[in-house]
């Protein structure tokens, strides 16, 4: 969010033309709204439980920005019957880019100094994308869940998504207004009508798309520009009709202003981050903002100016852009260093951010925005802006370069196990292989500080994925089609199918090894966050409507055509209540029943131990102190629900396989066993370690496989 405060933007620019008391009210309302909006966002990020909808501050900013910028553009159109795009982008450059360059460069330094090396490459890419205002699409593509915004693993520039949305909007918005202005030159008296039609041409389809995508793919809907254009266009529409709004009576204007402010406050207190957003829910804060800024000139002192015009609020409003830029990176760094902070601890971090913001405003923002050479020469301002963008981009490149060469999927995950040895000669046992036939209690699985080598390198562990990800057949959240991949012996009459979520997909490397060894065909059906169960579920705290449809399509695929000889499944488990266990068991049985009726046996692989932290991140921080990355076995197993065991118990042709003794053989689960890193994050085992479990999985699968009638 740019939180535009260009001092050249005055009420007269919008043809509202308030004067005296009304002009003061207008200016105070805008500054005060900015202050309330940035405070809501910052407090929400700081963990204020009493402000569950603080994220709507971003929507308030979108409307304000659309209003202010459109007002400038409309004033120029009415004055000159055209627009100078060069002058417009020069103003944006000197307003936005210097502070962006300072903050992004600082984030690059903070990343190298304080954040885990395992995240450097990803953060560097985020900084680069932020420097040229496309990071919102990057986050949308990764389905980052911004609404659970307090995780220490979040990018320190994740908040730049909103600034990216604004700047993308301002690439197209002036061009659209210019085209309308040129088309309406012969009838200038109807200019605002044409401009309003142009606004509606953006507002209506964007709002409709926002409602649709928020319902179907909420994790992407939050970030993408197309679901947010209507919010900025709404502010633009208020600027276009501002003259008419300013002529209503004081009583009506005041009532509208106070109603708008009440709508904003209600949104911050009533909306929940667990609800799909933006969609129609964003209408509450955005329409509220439109009412306040649209009717403020008419309301005058009868409106909320006595509140919004308070000197402390107006000062925060002046610093709001820098406060927004600084607060999130500092919170991420602090949480990475000291863990989840209390609200008081987060408030101290925010206080530091406010101090930096005051300095940034005084020595960077204001001087550059006001500099006479830059205001007189748009080309010079554009050159300065370009230099700022290059500086920010170089900061991201520096972080990427410091992370080292990009990781490639571990050789052990795609090639023979002997590739781990990196030496000629007979294969040396690695990973789970070192634990022998009876892994439980084997001291070779004990935590230790140092090992001769680690595969994969902990800093590259994020890339040690099952091949279904690179092959494009691990279904994203919105997909309902039963897309699959085939591995092993594709001509084999014996087919094994794998179905489930990412905790099923983590077994692909082991199953590939077994399929190759046994000359079976392996067919995979996996989908993010989707259990092989018809039980209603959530994905990133919103109803996962695509999951049951996908499950139904998978069942149809498995029971028509060539039926598999065995179906293997697994799933992420969590602590469960008796009610949720019963619901999950019922859901699993519902999906399994058609398979069992067709004579297809099912193997349920017990979910893996659940670490209380990111094991790969811990190991990457100091590979010479690996023992501190160990975690207790009993609590990690206790966190698993009992639905898998209950669903398999007493069900004919359903078999439970538990390999957890070979993942955590002792009371303390080690980060590295047999020279192989066990986990790639805080939940999934590495593809390399999974592959070393193949010899243990093979005999059980052969035992349960049905090859006859």
Residue 544 lies in a domain: yes
Last residue of a domain, which of 399, 433, 468? 399
The answer to whether residue 9 scores a pLDDT higher than 70 is no
Could you report the per-residue pLDDT of 466-492, keeping only the tens digit for each?
999 999 999 988 889 999 999 999 999
Could you report the per-residue pLDDT of 497-534, keeping only the tens digit for each?
999 999 999 999 999 999 999 999 999 999 988 999 98
Q: CB of 100 within 8 A of CB of 131? A: yes
Calculate mean pLDDT across residues 648-668: 94
| Both tokens assigned to 28 | 């105070």
| pTM (predicted TM-score) | 0.86
Cα-based distances in Å from 326 to 147, 322, 351, 360: 19, 6, 10, 10
My answer on whether 656 and 599 are in the same domain is yes
The answer to whether residue 191 scores a pLDDT higher than 80 is yes
Q: CB of 546 within 8 A of CB of 216? A: yes
My answer on whether 238 and 349 are in the same domain is yes
Cβ-count burial 555-594 (b if 16+ within 10 Å, e if not): bebbeeeeebbbbbbbbbbeebeeeebebbbebbeebbee
The answer to whether residue 255 scores a pLDDT higher than 50 is yes
Task: Find the helix or strand (DSSP H, E) in which 487 lies.
Answer: strand 485-488
Compute the distance between CA of residue 444 and CA of residue 632 in angstroms, rounded to an integer: 17
Compute the distance between CA of residue 536 and CA of residue 545 in angstroms, rounded to an integer: 8
Calculate mean pLDDT across residues 618-629: 92
Residue 434 lies in a domain: no
Compute the distance between CA of residue 118 and CA of residue 111 in angstroms, rounded to an integer: 11
**Residue 423's CB: how many other CB atoms inside 10 A?**
8
Q: Residue 189: which pLDDT band, with cuts at 50, 70 and 90?
A: confident
My answer on whether 351 and 416 are in the same domain is no
Calculate mean pLDDT across residues 225-252: 93
Q: CB of 144 within 8 A of CB of 158? A: yes
Residue 428 lies in a domain: no
My answer on whether 536 and 633 are in the same domain is yes
Q: By mean pLDDT, which of 284-288, 374-378, 538-542 is the weakest? A: 538-542
The answer to whether residue 112 scores a pLDDT higher than 90 is yes
The answer to whether residue 27 scores a pLDDT higher than 80 is no
Q: CB of 601 within 8 A of CB of 653? A: yes
The answer to whether residue 415 scores a pLDDT higher than 70 is no
DSSP 3-state assignment of 497?
strand
My answer on whether 464 and 546 are in the same domain is yes
DSSP 3-state assignment of 201?
helix
Residue holding tokens 């963990």? Answer: 47
CATH number of the domain at 506, please. Answer: 3.40.50.1110
Residue 298 lies in a domain: yes
| Both tokens assigned to 434 | 């070192």
Compute the distance between CA of residue 497 and CA of residue 524 in angstroms, rounded to an integer: 6
Last residue of a domain, which of 342, 369, 399? 399
Between the two ends of the chain, the Cα-to-Cα distance in Å is 64
My answer on whether 42 and 171 are in the same domain is yes
Residue holding tokens 């571990």? Answer: 410
Q: Residue 562: which pLDDT band, with cuts at 50, 70 and 90?
A: confident
What is residue 327's predicted lDDT score, i.e. its pLDDT?
97
DSSP 3-state assignment of 377?
coil
My answer on whether 475 and 551 are in the same domain is yes
The answer to whether residue 362 scores a pLDDT higher than 90 is yes
The answer to whether residue 21 scores a pLDDT higher than 50 is no
Q: CB of 550 within 8 A of CB of 527? A: yes
What is residue 204's predicted lDDT score, i.e. its pLDDT?
97
* Half-sphere exposure of residue 423: CA atoms within 13 angstroms, side-chain side: 6
Residue 91 lies in a domain: yes
Last residue of a domain, which of 365, 399, 433? 399
> Sign (positive/negative) of CA torsion 522, 525, 530, 531?
negative
Closest of 152, 157, 149 to residue 54, by C-alpha: 149
What is residue 353's predicted lDDT score, i.e. its pLDDT?
97
Residue 609 lies in a domain: yes
Cα-based distances in Å from 57 to 134, 160, 320: 21, 14, 11
Compute the distance between CA of residue 564 and CA of residue 594 in angstroms, rounded to an integer: 13
Cα three-residue angle 176-182-186, rounded to 5 degrees = 140
Calculate mean pLDDT across residues 440-467: 93
What range does the domain containing 342 cover? 11-399
Q: Residue 413: which pLDDT band, with cuts at 50, 70 and 90?
A: very low
Closest of 109, 42, 521, 29 to residue 289, by C-alpha: 29
Q: Considering the chain, what is the average pLDDT of its residues?
A: 88
Q: Residue 85: which pLDDT band, with cuts at 50, 70 and 90?
A: very high
Q: CB of 371 within 8 A of CB of 94? A: yes
What is residue 1's predicted lDDT score, i.e. its pLDDT?
54
Per the structure, how many domains does the chain have?
2
Compute the distance between CA of residue 100 and CA of residue 324 in angstroms, rounded to an integer: 11
Calculate mean pLDDT across residues 346-350: 96
Q: CB of 456 within 8 A of CB of 528? A: no
What is residue 707's predicted lDDT score, i.e. its pLDDT?
62
Sequence-distant (6+) residues with CB within 8 A of 606 are 570, 640, 644, 645, 656, 657, 658, 659, 660
Compute the distance between CA of residue 529 and CA of residue 455 in angstroms, rounded to an integer: 27
Compute the distance between CA of residue 407 and CA of residue 345 in angstroms, rounded to an integer: 36
Pairing assessment for the beta strands 668-669 and 631-632 based on DSSP bridges: antiparallel
Cα-based distances in Å from 160 to 5, 30, 140, 325: 18, 22, 13, 8
Q: By mean pLDDT, which of 6-10, 172-176, 525-529 is the weakest? A: 6-10
Q: By mean pLDDT, which of 66-75, 148-157, 439-448 is the weakest? A: 148-157
Residue 435 lies in a domain: no
Q: CB of 176 within 8 A of CB of 202? A: yes
My answer on whether 611 and 650 are in the same domain is yes
* Half-sphere exposure of residue 233: CA atoms within 13 angstroms, side-chain side: 25
| Both tokens assigned to 636 | 């990690």
My answer on whether 641 and 607 are in the same domain is yes
My answer on whether 566 and 452 are in the same domain is yes
Cα-based distances in Å from 221 to 50, 62, 137: 25, 16, 10
* Half-sphere exposure of residue 105: CA atoms within 13 angstroms, side-chain side: 13
The answer to whether residue 13 scores a pLDDT higher than 50 is no
Q: Residue 273: which pLDDT band, with cuts at 50, 70 and 90?
A: confident
Q: CB of 37 within 8 A of CB of 300? A: no
Q: CB of 203 within 8 A of CB of 237? A: yes
What is residue 18's predicted lDDT score, i.e. its pLDDT?
43
Cα-based distances in Å from 632 to 18, 84, 350, 441, 637: 68, 65, 35, 14, 9
DSSP 3-state assignment of 417?
helix
What is residue 435's predicted lDDT score, i.e. its pLDDT?
94
Cα-based distances in Å from 194 to 67, 134, 178, 185, 245: 17, 30, 11, 11, 18
The answer to whether residue 11 scores a pLDDT higher than 70 is no
My answer on whether 562 and 679 are in the same domain is yes
Q: By mean pLDDT, which of 55-59, 245-249, 576-580 is the weakest? A: 576-580
**DSSP code per residue over 134-152:** -HHHHHHHTT--TTSTT-T
DSSP 3-state assignment of 615?
helix
My answer on whether 39 and 186 are in the same domain is yes
The answer to whether residue 331 scores a pLDDT higher than 70 is yes
What is residue 305's predicted lDDT score, i.e. its pLDDT?
81
The answer to whether residue 10 scores a pLDDT higher than 70 is no
Which is more confidently placed, 540 or 97?
97
| Both tokens assigned to 446 | 């004990």
Q: CB of 234 within 8 A of CB of 66? A: yes
Compute the distance between CA of residue 71 and CA of residue 301 in angstroms, rounded to an integer: 23
Residue 5 lies in a domain: no
């Amino acid at each position: 969010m740019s939180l535009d405060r260009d001092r050249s933007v005055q009420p007269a620019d919008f043809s509202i033309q308030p004067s005296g008391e009304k002009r003061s009210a207008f200016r105070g309302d805008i500054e005060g709204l900015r202050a309330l909006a940035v405070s809501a966002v910052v407090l929400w990020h700081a963990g204020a439980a009493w402000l569950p909808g603080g994220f709507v501050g971003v929507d308030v900013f979108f409307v304000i920005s659309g209003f202010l910028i459109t007002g400038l553009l409309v004033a120029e159109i009415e004055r000159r019957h055209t627009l100078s795009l060069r002058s417009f982008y020069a103003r944006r450059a000197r307003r936005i880019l210097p502070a962006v360059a300072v903050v992004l460069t600082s984030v690059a330094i903070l990343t190298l100094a304080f954040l885990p090396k395992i995240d450097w490459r990803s953060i560097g890419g985020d900084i680069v994308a932020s420097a040229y205002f496309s990071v919102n699409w990057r986050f949308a593509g990764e389905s980052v869940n911004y609404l659970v915004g307090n995780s220490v693993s979040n990018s320190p520039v994740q908040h730049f998504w909103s600034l990216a949305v604004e700047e993308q909007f301002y690439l197209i918005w002036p061009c659209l207004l210019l085209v309308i202005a040129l088309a309406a030159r012969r009838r200038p008296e109807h200019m605002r009508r044409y401009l309003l039609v142009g606004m509606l041409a953006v507002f209506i389809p964007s709002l409709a798309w926002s409602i649709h995508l928020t319902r179907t793919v909420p994790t992407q809907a939050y970030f993408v520009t197309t679901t947010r254009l209507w919010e900025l266009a709404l502010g633009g529409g208020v600027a276009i009709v501002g003259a008419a709004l300013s002529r209503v009576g004081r009583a009506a204007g005041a009532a509208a202003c106070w109603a708008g402010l009440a709508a904003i406050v209600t949104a911050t207190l009533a909306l929940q981050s667990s609800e799909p957003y933006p969609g129609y829910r964003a209408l509450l804060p955005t329409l509220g903002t439109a009412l306040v800024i649209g009717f403020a000139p008419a309301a005058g002192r009868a409106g909320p100016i006595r509140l919004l015009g308070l000197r402390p609020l107006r000062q925060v409003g002046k610093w709001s852009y820098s406060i927004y830029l600084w607060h999130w990176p500092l919170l991420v760094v602090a949480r990475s260093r000291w863990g989840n902070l209390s609200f008081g601890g987060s408030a101290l971090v925010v206080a530091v951010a406010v101090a930096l913001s005051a300095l940034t405003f005084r020595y960077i923002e204001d001087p550059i925005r006001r500099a006479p050479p830059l205001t007189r020469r748009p080309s010079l301002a554009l050159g300065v802006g370009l230099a700022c963008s290059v500086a920010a981009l170089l900061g991201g490149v520096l972080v990427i370069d410091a992370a080292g060469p990009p990781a490639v999927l571990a050789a052990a995950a795609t090639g023979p196990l002997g590739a781990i040895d990196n030496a000629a000669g007979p294969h040396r046992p690695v990973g789970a292989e070192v634990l022998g036939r009876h892994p439980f209690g084997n001291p070779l699985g004990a935590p230790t500080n140092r090992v001769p080598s680690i595969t994969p390198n902990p800093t590259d562990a994020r890339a040690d994925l099952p091949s279904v990800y690179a092959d494009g057949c691990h279904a994203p959240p919105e997909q309902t089609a039963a897309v699959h991949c085939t591995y092993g012996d594709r001509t084999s009459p014996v087919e094994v199918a794998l179905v489930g979520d990412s905790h099923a997909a983590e077994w692909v490397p082991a199953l590939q090894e077994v399929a190759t060894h046994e000359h079976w065909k392996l067919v995979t059906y996996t989908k993010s966050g989707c259990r092989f169960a018809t039980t209603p579920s959530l994905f990133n705290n919103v109803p996962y409507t695509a999951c049951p449809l996908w499950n139904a399509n998978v069942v149809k695929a498995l029971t028509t055509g060539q039926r598999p000889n065995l179906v293997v499944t697994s799933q992420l488990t969590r602590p469960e209540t008796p009610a949720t266990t019963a619901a999950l068991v019922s859901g699993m049985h519902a999906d399994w029943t058609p398979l069992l009726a067709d004579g297809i046996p099912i193997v349920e692989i017990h979910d893996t131990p659940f670490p209380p932290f990111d094991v790969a991140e811990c190991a990457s921080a100091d590979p010479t102190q690996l023992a501190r990355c160990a975690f207790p076995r009993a609590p990690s197993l206790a966190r698993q629900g009992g639905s898998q065991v209950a669903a398999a118990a007493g069900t004919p042709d359903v078999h439970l396989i538990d390999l957890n003794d070979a993942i955590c053989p002792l009371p303390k689960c080690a980060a590295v066993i047999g020279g192989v890193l066990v986990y790639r994050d805080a939940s999934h085992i590495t593809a390399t370690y999974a592959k070393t479990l193949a010899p243990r999985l093979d005999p059980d699968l052969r035992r349960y496989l049905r090859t006859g009638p």
